[in-house]
Amino acid sequence: MILVDIGRCTGCRLCEMVCSVKNEGVTNPTKARIQVVKWDTEGTAIPVVCQQCEDAPCAAVCPVSAISRDSATGALKINNEKCIRCRICVQACPFGAIGYNAQMNKVFKCELCDGEPMCVAFCEPQALLFTDSSKASFVKRRFAAEKLAATYKHSR
């Protein structure tokens, strides 16, 4: 799974660029499997990517079972041969991490680049971290503790 350290994200959107090139062969952020949501007035940018949910709502609602977990990477993958493009999975995703390419008539999401996510490899500020889902809770707690410690230091 890909974890996001929002405190490190600079909003450069390089993750979107490399993702769209890797998956679609074009530099087009709208075709990326990761999307950076920016709040310019607050100076905040948050990369949003599929959380590879254990009890994935997208897979649960698919009427043709076109979404399944890859046993090697743990990624939820869309079988475009089975997919009927009803886009119920797009609506069911609580993170908004599933997209639809109208030109190619296909639903798409992050499939972890077969275990080597390009967005993570090219993220210079290291705001993205690829980790095993069993270690994700530990890493999230560490991120939270670091933020609390930084807040505490600044308040003294």
Q: How far apart are the first and last CA of the chain?
A: 36
pLDDT over 90, % of the chain: 76
- Name the band, by pLDDT with cuts 50, 70 and 90, for residue 150: low
Q: Are 34 and 75 in contact (CB under 8 A)?
A: no
Report the distance separating Cα 1 and Cα 117, nearest Å: 9
pLDDT of res. 145: 66
Instruction: Write down the residue that tokens 């990326």 correspond to.
Output: 32
In this structure, the strands spanning 44-49 and 34-39 are antiparallel
The full set of domain ranges for the chain reads: 2-131
Query: Cα separations (Å) of 150 from 102, 124, 143, 153, 156?
Result: 44, 21, 11, 5, 10
Mean pLDDT of the chain: 90
How is residue 103 annotated by DSSP?
T
Contacts of 83 by beta carbon, 8 Å cutoff, 6+ apart: 62, 64, 66, 106, 107
CATH annotation of 2-131: 3.30.70.20
pTM (two decimals): 0.82
> pLDDT tens-digit profile of 7-62?
899 999 999 999 999 999 999 999 999 999 999 888 889 999 999 999 999 999 99
